Amino acid sequence: MNFIDSHCHIDGEAFDADRDEIVENAKKAGVEPVEDLEPLGVRDVQREAFVRQIKTAKQLKLPIIIHSRDADEETVEILTRECSYPNFKGIMHCFGGTAEMAKALMEIGFLISFAGNVTFKKADNLRAAARVVPLEKLLIETDCPFLTPVPFRGKRNEPAFVVQTARFLADFYEIELETLADRTTRNFLEFFDLSITN
């Protein structure tokens, strides 16, 4: 019996002291890809898989939804190269990059989605990015159970808390909460070619 761990982070500092043991444990448990990924290096494998997924989405005429962490320049470089085609649609979910990254992604055709971390006291970089995102390119999300917005920080995040992120951003943009709710809802529905029936 074989398994695939589709989202692990054994390349981080947390595993520096015992990475070899962790890889061996994975092999013993029947987790094959760990060994296969080692010769190329995790970053190389991620880049190759990322490009393949983008090309598959293009072929199938599907939108893409990306979460980029600690790879702003690489992400922008790959997305600029691979996503500059007619009718491209993308969402940068749980945005955590810079204002420059947001601008570059919006030029390609991305919507920028902010989660509860934009409400955190030390999230000046996210607020600087939000400052350059016009309402027609904005989405909101929870990324629950993570990134619980203030004032619920420390609790498990849940969909109802997206209202707190919306309220924060409405105040930030100096607009009515209803305006932000209407626009972000419309952005989402238009992106996925959906409508709400009451």
Q: Which tokens hold the place of 95?
A: 């945005």
pLDDT averaged over every residue in the chain: 86
pLDDT, one tens digit per residue, over 158-196 is 888 898 999 999 999 999 999 999 899 899 989 999 887
% of the chain exceeding 90 in pLDDT: 60
% of the chain exceeding 70 in pLDDT: 85
Q: Which helix (H) or strand (E) is 12 found in, with range? A: none
33: pLDDT strictly greater than 60: no
Strand partners, 138: 112
Q: What is the DSSP string of 135-178?
A: GGGEEE---TTS-PPTTSBTBPP-GGGHHHHHHHHHHHHTS-HH
pLDDT, one tens digit per residue, over 89-126 is 999 999 999 999 999 999 999 999 999 999 999 999 99
The answer for residues whose C-beta is within 8 angstroms of residue 51's C-beta and 6 or more apart is 78, 82
pLDDT, one tens digit per residue, over 34-54 is 433 444 456 788 888 899 999
78-87 average pLDDT score: 94
- Comparing 123 with 147, which gets the higher pLDDT? 123
